Amino acid sequence: MSDFLQLAGKTFLVQGVANKKSVAWFIAKTLEEQGARVVYAVRSEARKKSLEALLAGKPVFLCDVEEEGACERLAVEVAAAGFAPLHGVVHSVAFANYSDGFKTFAETQRKDFLQASAISAFSLVELARALKPHLTPDASVVTIGISSLVVTPDNYGYMGPIKAALDSCARFLAKSFSADTAVRFNVVGSGPLKTSASAGIPGYLESYLYAEKMTYRKRALDTQEVANTAVFLLSPRSSGVNGTTLVVDAGLGANYFDKDIIRLAMRPETPASPEQSPSAKIQTPK
C-alpha cells in the first residue's frame, strides 16, 4: 500500500491531550494510524493519571507551560529518553480564565490576559526554541488557531487577540528558523468544535449551534477534519507550506449572507419555503 503522507516510522511530539475529544488526541491517533510514533506531553501528573487508560504503554512526559523552564526540561527529557530527533511537533494548548463568567473584552484583567498569553501563545515560542536542537532539519511544527482572527465574538473575549498573537508567533518562528534550518511552522485555523476547552467558554453551545447553521453544508466541523489537516501539515507532502494558516471551517467564515439565517433574523415568523430556499432544511446536530 502506498504511504502517501510518508509518516511511517517517524516520531512526533504531541502536546495537549486532555481527553478523547481533544484536537491533540485526534491528531495523535491519526499519526499513529499512519505508522508514526507519538510521544505525548501533558500538563500535569494528575492529567497523566487520568489519561492512563488512553495512553497506556505510550511515552508520556509532563510539561506545564505556565512554569518557566518547563519546555527546556521537556526537551532534555525527551532527548534523554531516546525519542530525538523529532520529525514534527504539535502544539495544541490553550487556557483562559472564564471562571467569573461572561465579561466584555474591555473588562479583561491584566493577570488573566498575561496568563492566557503565556500559556496559549508564547508557549509555542518556548517549545520551539527548546526543541530546536532535537528536530530533524526539515521538521514540521503545527499549532491550532482559530478560523478567523477578525471576528469579535463577545463570549470569546480576550482569547481573540491572544489567538492572533499565536498565529503571528508561528509566522515569526518560521522566519527565525529559516535562517539555519528547513523547519516549517503552520497553523490550522479551526472553526468551532466540541471539546473541553470550548465547553468552558460562556454561552458556547449556542455559538456552536449557530456556527453550524453558518457553514455552507449546514453540518458542524468534525474534530477529525481539523486533525487531518494538521497531519497533512506535519507530513512532507506539505513541504511548500510554511508560515501559513490553513483555515478549516466548512465555509463558515465566508457565509455572511446566508439566506436561511437572514430569513430567521429578519422574518422569523416566515417558515422556510423549500421552493424559495432549497437549502433551508437546516440540519440539527447529531
Applying CB under 6 A, which residues contact ligand NAD?
16-18, 22-24, 43, 47, 63-66, 92-95, 119, 144, 146, 190, 192-193, 195-198
Q: Which residue(s) pair with 10 in the sheet?
A: none
If the CB atoms of residues 111 and 267 are measured against ligand NAD, the closer one turns out to be 111
Q: Would you say 212 or 263 has its CB closer to ligand NAD?
A: 212
Residue whose CB is less far from ligand NAD, 117 or 235: 117
The candidate with the shortest Cα–Cα distance to 221, out of 250, 195, 243, 257, is: 250
Helix (H) or strand (E) holding 38: strand 37-42
Least CB distance to ligand NAD at residue 198 (A): 4
Q: How far is CA 275 from CA 196, 238, 263, in A?
A: 40, 43, 14
CB of 144 to ligand NAD, least distance (A): 4
Q: How far is the CB of 221 from ligand NAD (least distance, A)?
A: 8
Q: Residue 241 Cβ, how far from ligand NAD at the closest point, in Å?
A: 19
Rounded CA-CA distance 249/74 in Å is 33
Closest among 202, 51, 157, 232 to 15, alpha carbons compared: 51
Cβ 266 to ligand NAD shortest distance, Å: 28
DSSP, residue by residue, 250-278: TTGGG-TT-HHHHHHHH-TTSPP-TTT-T
What's the closest the beta carbon of residue 251 comes to ligand NAD, in angstroms?
Answer: 16
Residue 29 or 43 having the CB closest to ligand NAD: 43
Q: How many CB atoms lie within 10 A of CB 125?
A: 17
Closer Cβ to ligand NAD, 141 or 144, answer by number: 144
Closer residue to ligand NAD in complex, CB, 161/263: 161
Query: How far is it, in rounded angstroms, from Cα 61 to Cα 278?
Result: 52
